[in-house]
Amino acid sequence: QGPFICTEKTERYGNSSADPDCVVSPQDGSYLAEFLLEKGYEVHGIVRRSSSFNTGRIEHLYKNPQTHTEGNMKLHYGDLTDSTCLVKIINEIKPTEIYNLGAQSHVKISFDLAEYTADVDGLGTLRLLDAIKTCGLIQSVRLYQASTSELYGKVQEIPQRETTTFYPRSPYGVAKLYAYWIVVNFREAYNLFAVNGILFNHESPRRGANFVTRKISRSVAKIHLGQLDCFSLGNLDSKRDWGHAKDYVEAMWLMLQQEEPEDFVIATGEVHSVREFVEKAFKHVGKTIVWEGKDEKEVGRCQETGNIHVRVDQKYYRPTEVDYLQGDSSKALKKLGWRPRVTFEELVKEMVDADIELMRTNPNA
């Protein structure tokens, strides 16, 4: 999933010592960077080298976005697959808070890139933990590890909470399971303040274009503007607990402000299907979708025009499916005072509106 960012907060303990944190520049990282900058942090990012700029979601955070002039956000080249660079950067910045959001985070793609996913998502977390230990920061640093509801996979309990048994169903989920337990191990073995945030699906207009919710909002926007006739999806009946990424980054921060390190489930507690997401998105642009057919022959037809706008394609199915995820975040409410603010309908509307504006100005985006 893109660049890995560290942020630094000044005067947290009543002095001017540097207190960096880490986030990533895709969706979650950009919202977390904004959140921390508003609280007086400086942002240090680890960016993977590319022949083109890959900082689109954080360009507005530069002092001068046109020239990429750094202000309270500074970027460094590095990678979670390179332990030497992690040691070098962490030793230089000497963080007191680290948010590790770096990952190959696309579940379907993890089946095609299983080894790479394990290297970045699993061993990458170990490299980061070892870098903290090597730099002698075990007693001073606080680590947030981005865990995932995909750990639950073939769910053993509904809803899923912190005590629910894990049963991952993808290379991504399995890699994240290793990351989860190695964080727990470092917490227990070395008394490191380290927490796992088991975040359920969270979306926004900044979501990657190949994730299903963004694919839907982009496609609906294009159809609304006459730029597209039809698009294809996989399992329409897959059900997820969807929230807004902007709400969820606040929970990340809150976890590191507690007296003791604990793992938390972050979720809305509501479940909606991919089918429902499609219907809500089209409804927002004045179209009613009527479903016809079964299985791979099922289509979504516009009631007003009779045009088919959605088809099912088996290539978008996963070898092992996760059918139902629903989180119980009552522990986060009780101990962090956290609750989601953005509703499902508001999330869908925001994503569709943002993509309509994007496609109006840049149809090839």
> Is 250 one of the catalytic residues?
no
Amino acid at 160: Q
- What is the rounded CA–CA span in Å between residue 133 and residue 219? 46
Q: What is the DSSP string of 190-257?
A: H--EEEEEEEPPEE-TTS-TTSHHHHHHHHHHHHHTTS-S-EEES-TT-EE--EEHHHHHHHHHHHTT
- What is the rounded CA–CA span in Å between residue 174 and residue 169? 7
Among candidate residues 117, 148, 164, 268, the one labeled active-site is 148
* CA-closest candidate to residue 185, choices 140, 235, 126, 231: 126
193 backbone dihedrals φ, ψ, rounded to 5°: -75, 95
* CA-closest candidate to residue 102, choices 1, 238, 224: 1
Tokens of 314: 């088996």
- What is the rounded CA–CA span in Å between residue 200 and residue 5? 21
Distance from first CA to last CA of the chain, Å, rounded? 19
Tokens of 191: 């008394």
Place of tokens 């689109």: 56
52 backbone dihedrals φ, ψ, rounded to 5°: -130, 160
- What is the rounded CA–CA span in Å between residue 328 and residue 200? 10
> Is 361 one of the catalytic residues?
no
Tokens of 22: 């880490």
Among candidate residues 8, 42, 97, 150, the one labeled active-site is 150
> Is 304 one of the catalytic residues?
no
Among candidate residues 41, 144, 172, 248, the one labeled active-site is 172
- How many Cα atoms sit within 13 Å of 261 on the Cβ side? 21
Amino acid at 139: Q
* CA-closest candidate to residue 238, choices 321, 343, 349: 321
Query: Are 194 and 183 contacting, i.e. CB atoms less than 8 angstroms apart?
Result: yes
Active-site residues, by number, are 148, 150, 172
